Amino acid sequence: MSTIIIDGKKISQDIKDELKKEVEELNKKEIYPGLAVVLVGNNPASKVYVSNKKKACEYIGIRSFSYELPEETSEEELLNLIDVLNKDEKVNGILVQLPLPKHINEKKILLAINPKKDVDCFHPYNVGLITIGDLDGFLPCTPAGIIELIKRTNIDIEGKKCVVVGRSNIVGKPVSLLLLSNNGTVEICHSRTKNLSGICKEADILVAAIGKPKFITADMIKEGAVLIDVGINRLENGKLCGDIDFENCKEKAKAITPVPGGVGPMTIAMLMKNCVKAALMQN
């Protein structure tokens, strides 16, 4: 049987088209979803991400309000901006692009965002809701994108052994919680895990979010596994590659996400979904 290559580009486009229609309906009721996008400093990758987020807003019909602040911006200035955005009724969602410059306390900034406008789902209040299994509010973007990829490929999570490699707050931890909420049996591995290879080999669904190029090799996976690759690594030849050795794993897998074009495009689609949800919750 041939391996399913999970097309994140296509699935994210489907989601954006669904949202575009939803926003058209909201506009008829005079609801105009709005997202504030805040970028501090000159991180080149962040600039690309922010620009892509604004483009997606434009496509769907979400109003975007852009704030590009210099590297020297003080923590107080940023907190003041967040306070203004929290109170602005045209702004339904606030996104502060990470990482922030070192002199700014990231935790303090994320805590200052009104949880009702926290479309990244980074505020501890919203993370707490996910932890207690309440998925009615915002969902963390990359993890929710992963679940969406799995579901739209008609793969059941219930009862499956799910192994997540990586324990970051942005991906590893929250995707583990979402898999658990979907009745997966979840194991989280990380740099200190003993017998990582053996644990990965038991996975029906393997999520790799470690940031090490081609870390997951064919000998570490089970025949027929579903492989989700969150890694975006740049090789010396300038090409992008994931955390999974795609070429060697794909024959053995039931389904696999490519890099690029797998999980990557889903993050923005799910951010857009949260923005529309924010507008609905606030109206």
**Positions marked catalytic:** 53, 97, 120
CB of 170 to ligand GUN, least distance (A): 6
Q: How many CB atoms lie within 10 A of CB 180?
A: 16
Say how far apart CA 190 and CA 28 lie, in whole Å.
48
Binding mask 146-175 for ligand GUN (x = CB under 6 A): ------------------------x-----
CB of 251 to ligand GUN, least distance (A): 31
Q: Closer to ligand GUN by CB, 92 or 267: give it.
A: 267
By the rule CB under 6 A, 120 interacts with ligand GUN: yes
By the rule CB under 6 A, 218 interacts with ligand GUN: no
Distance of CA 3 to the CA centre of its chain: 24
Say how far apart CA 58 and CA 56 lie, in whole Å.
5
CB of 41 to ligand GUN, least distance (A): 13
- Paired tokens of 234: 């740049």
202: helix, strand or coil: coil
The one-letter code for the residue type at 143 is P
With CB under 6 A as the contact rule, the residue among 62, 94, 95, 157 that binds ligand GUN is 95
Spatial contact of 37 and 62, defined as CB atoms under 8 Å apart: no
Residue with tokens 């070192």: 102
With CB under 6 A as the contact rule, the residue among 69, 98, 155, 180 that binds ligand GUN is 98
By the rule CB under 6 A, 232 interacts with ligand GUN: no
Report which residue's Cβ sits closest to ligand GUN: 98
CB of 53 to ligand GUN, least distance (A): 9
Burial of 44 (0-12, 13-18, 19+ CB in 10 A): exposed
Say how far apart CA 224 and CA 59 lie, in whole Å.
37
Q: Closer to ligand GUN by CB, 220 or 270: give it.
A: 270
Name the residues that contact ligand GUN, by CB under 6 A.
95-98, 120, 141, 170, 267
